[in-house]
A and B are shown apart, each in its own frame.
Chain A
Amino acid sequence: MQQSPVRPPYEPIGAVAAEAPPASQRLLSKLRTRQKVMTAARALFSQHGYEAATIRDIARSAGMSTGAVFANFQDKADLFEAVMAEDFDRVADVMRAAVEATEGQPVADRLSIMFAAAYRDGFTDVPLVQAAVAQSWVHARSAEVRGRNRSKITTGLIGDLLRQASAAGELRADFDVKLISEMLWDAFIGNYRKGAFDGWTAEQQMTRLSDQITVLLAGVRLR
């Protein structure tokens, strides 16, 4: 919470109070500032990578002071995490929507549809994903814990599909759901390298992932 500014004693308090925006409006404008910083940060992180993007550049691009950036975010790591958390929420949303829209279909199809949506409408900015993956190898342990809690949501959705397929008799009943869910997620993220270095499109990433899904499920299918 930000403290209200100290009023000099000689100012007529009543008049100032009348001009001061109500709390909700102040909150709203704070949120707007925060959003503006995040939009500028997202663009610069994507263009230059995490290390090369500076708070100063981000502030300039958002049209505000570095002080205003620091009023909203502790440091660059905090800002980057906020940007990525937004993307992560979107990925979880499109994956969840795919789970609901594909009920009753074969599990490999459901996974393909789910990941295709995540490539197309979830993590859409390839350089930003690369920056996030790079950062995830070296960020603070506390950030790692928060990151894992986020990916528990997405691997949980994958796990839901696998368990449903198990219940429907498509997959074995006794396999390690968490292990396969994580391996599928690893393959999904791993394909962004191909996007970054080999210029693969979302469709090409998806075609490869469909094949990988076949490989990863082969061992747990009921024949």
Chain B
Amino acid sequence: MPEGGMQGVRKQQKEATRQRVVSAARELFEGVGYEETTIRMIAERAGVSVGSVFTTFESKVDIFNHILFQKFELLFGELQRIAPHLKGSCCDRIVSLMSIAYGVECRQLDLMISHLAASHGWPDRIEAENARRHERLVGLFRDCLDHGVRAGELRADADLDLFLETLMAVYLRNYRKAYYERLGAEAMSELIEKQVKLIFEGLRA
């Protein structure tokens, strides 16, 4: 008997169910799409009852949110690990970070596309969590810009928030090209480089 007696067993079982539900859901969200996936399908694939799916997660969107949280942690960890080693101008640094992000997300492109599609119609509480993750990601790019301002590369009076918001809109919309035009991470990197260079012109000191 594991530590904690019967309660420990129950806890372990609950965690095992949770993991089975999450991985089944993830496969379905990637393969069939978020909207088309039902709780019943997830339960069937995970080999658990519909009832036990609902005891581990409130609803389908909460399972999805959990998967997006994992996806984010993976991406953010990778970018954070690389950020201190970046060289070159702040424009180069941002292009490098975004290229790495494209590399990571393009390996699980179907999930990224489901994420982007769902993000236009999910409840406010999920949007709030998504916004917090987005802010942390933007924070990494922001660090590059601050570095550029300190190094005298960028105008000190530039509206960096506005710049970042515009840049992020472009960064995200590029996934359409990854998906519909089957651009690989390499081509995505070239595209974002062109776009970043173009909007950086207006920031230059």
Contact = CB atoms under 8 A, between A and B. Distances in A.
Interface in A110-167: 130-131, 133-138, 141, 144
Contact of A131 (B33, B120, B197, B200): B120
Given A130-B120, A138-B114, A180 B169 contact: no
B181 to A, nearest CB: 9
Interface stretch (B1-9, B75-83, B98-106, B172-180): B172-180
B58 interface: no
B198 A186 contact: no
Given A138-B35, A179-B198, A218-B203, A130 B169 contact: no
B157 interface: no
Contact of A137 (B113, B195, B200): B113
A218 B202 contact: yes
Given A130-B120, A133-B120, A141-B180, A218 B113 contact: no
Interface residues of B, number: 33
A14 to B, nearest CB: 53
Contacts of B121: 49, 51, 130-131, 134
A220 B116 contact: no
A141 B195 CA distance: 25
A202 to B, nearest CB: 18
Given A49-B121, A51-B35, A197-B127, A137 B202 contact: no
B136 interface: no
B89 interface: no
A158 to B, nearest CB: 15
A21 interface: no
B10 interface: no
A135 to B, nearest CB: 7
Contacts of A220: 198, 201
Contact of B194 (A179, A190, A221): A179
A144 B203 CA distance: 34
Contact of B117 (A134, A183, A187, A197): A134
B124 A190 contact: no
Chain A's interface size range is 20 to 34
A44 B184 CA distance: 38
Interface string B79-116: 00000000000000000000000000000000001101
User: Could you say which of B113, B121, B169, B201 has the most chain A C-beta atoms within 10 Å of its C-beta?
Assistant: B121
B205 interface: no
Nearest to A127: B121
B183 to A, nearest CB: 14
Given A138-B113, A183-B170, A219 B120 contact: no
A138 to B, nearest CB: 5
Contacts of B195: 179, 183
Interface stretch (A4-12, A57-65, A94-102, A209-217): A209-217
Nearest to B130: A197
B114 to A, nearest CB: 7
Nearest to B163: A215
B120 A196 contact: yes
21 contacts: A130-B121, A133-B120, A138-B35, A138-B114, A141-B180, A144-B180, A179-B194, A179-B195, A180-B198, A183-B170, A183-B198, A190-B172, A190-B173, A196-B120, A197-B124, A212-B165, A214-B202, A215-B202, A216-B166, A219-B199, A219-B201
Given A137-B179, A218-B201, 10 more contacts: A51-B35, A138-B113, A138-B117, A183-B170, A183-B198, A193-B120, A197-B127, A212-B165, A214-B202, A218-B199
